[in-house]
Amino acid sequence: MILNSRSQILMVVASLVLIITVWQLIKRDKLRPAYGLLWLITSGMFFFFVVFKKLGTHIANFFFVEYAPSFFFALAIFFIVSLLMFTTTVLSAHAKKTTELAERVALLQWRVEQLEEQVRQASLLEIPSPPTEVPRTDLEPQALDNSFVTITQMKEESIL
């Protein structure tokens, strides 16, 4: 593990920053652990192949690829396409659930409106109107026997 070029040192720092960033996102609940694990594995592999450059060359040769960077470039493209496919399937599932939830909300809203209308109609038929008498508090203690007056009497006296 000899880091002999500036670009290799830069890639090690970049991969470490990526690992730390993903870890912090998982820790702060900004990234779900399932997705975070995917990113941690990817950034860990990136770090591993940058540090152990010869191992990457041997793996590329094992797959009959003579130029190791092209193998890793193809591997990165495969990873990105896989990630896009995974994200698309998750997005499609969420879109379907959103549509179903919107339909359920619309049905529930319609049902609430129907029930409110039934309550309104039932209240007009069955429930008597509230009494129109209001207790008077501005009277003296000896007159409390007759402390209830109608609202119209209070309006006439301009109490309200």
In tens, the pLDDT along 18-51 reads 999 999 999 999 988 888 888 888 888 888 888 8
pLDDT exceeds 60 at position 145: no
What single-letter DSSP state applies at residue 63? Answer: T
Residues 6+ apart with CB under 8 A from 91: none
Prediction pTM value:
0.54
What single-letter DSSP state applies at residue 149? Answer: E
Output the pLDDT for position 150: 53
At 97, is the pLDDT very low, low, confident or very high (cuts 50, 70, 90)? very high
Rounded Cα–Cα distance for residues 100 and 106 (Å)? 10
Higher pLDDT, 125 or 152: 125
| In the chain, domain spans | 6-126, 132-160
Output the pLDDT for position 83: 83
Find the mean pLDDT for residues 134-149.
Answer: 51
pLDDT exceeds 90 at position 138: no
Output the pLDDT for position 143: 47
Find the mean pLDDT for residues 2-21.
Answer: 85
Quick one: 97 exposed, middle or buried, by C-beta within 10 A (0-12, 13-18, 19+)?
exposed
User: What is the average pLDDT score of the chain?
Assistant: 80
Output the pLDDT for position 56: 85
